[in-house]
Amino acid sequence: MRLTHLGGPTVLVEVDGWRILTDPTFDPPGRRYAFGWGTSSRKTAGPALAADEVGPVDVVLLSHDHHADNLDDAGRTALASAGVVVTTAAGARRLGNGALGLRAGEETVLSEPGKSSLTVRATPCRHGPPLSRPIVGPVVGFALRLGDQRRTALWMTGDTVLHGPLRRTADELDVDVALVHLGLVRFPITGPLRYSMDGKDAVELIAALEPRVAAPVHYEGWSHFSEPPAHLREAIAAAPPAVRERVVWLEPGAAREV
């Protein structure tokens, strides 16, 4: 598997002939985006590659369409040239154009000539504190299997806090490569409330999951991330070897074989 981190949550995944793009974000830095209910965030870093430099994309895995740090304007434009877009059920209704919508636990099977089939299963996310879903909206992660393999080739956690359904998913899945969304999202208007995982959560999740490789993503490039990247790296460095040795740090724009 080859991973190219483009910035934020956006990763180009190349595996078994499939070219898969996660949460497309290609806008330049500097703009502030409203997320609703008085929350907002400024994009502080641009993509390592522009959308037209990425090349053809077979599948877009879109954890949610309603927050610009997961789908910004240029990313939305790029959807038109992608093969299949898989997202939440609500997001598919909003996007139209053949987008496939999944709720947590549902799956779809994608096929293309000359490639192994790709089974995409939506996994649970809670993008905030308990009872926050009516405010933050639905979000899913994605677990991918190739052909008739039972092992999960890739798990993209999506934007989520560490909660019971996520822990149970980690216990259930046998994962090759995990993309772990972090950053400890917080907003001034909601004080200490957390909307995504931090380094401590990552250590706990990776310890339970035991993937071959875990790649932290979506922890930089936006002002609503409250955990500095240096703190995240310190948390991983201080983790037991069984966790620390699984972690791969992706350099933006550089393809990494894992």
Q: Where are the domains of the chain?
A: 2-253
**71-91: pLDDT as tens digits:** 999 999 999 999 999 999 999
Judged against a pLDDT cut of 90, whether residue 99 lies above it is answered with: yes
Query: Which amino acid is located at 83 in the chain?
Result: G
Q: Tokens 């609703």 identify what position?
A: 36
pLDDT digits (tens, 9 = 90+) for 16-42: 999 999 999 999 999 999 998 889 999
Contacts (Cβ under 8 Å, ≥6 apart) of 250: 3, 4, 5, 11, 215, 217, 256
Structure tokens at 7: 């910035």
pLDDT digit string, tens, across residues 144-199? 999 999 999 999 999 999 999 999 999 999 999 999 999 999 999 999 999 999 99
Give the whole-angstrom CA distance, residue 49 versus residue 122: 27
Number of other residues whose CB lies within 10 A of the CB of residue 87 = 29
| Mean pLDDT over each residue of the chain, to the nearest integer | 97
Percent of the chain with pLDDT over 70: 100
Q: Does domain 2-253 have CATH number 3.60.15.10?
A: yes
Distance between alpha carbon 74 and the CA centroid of its chain, in Å? 17
pLDDT confidence of residue 50: 96
| pTM metric for this prediction | 0.97
Confidence (pLDDT) at 36: 86
Residue 247 per-residue DSSP state: B
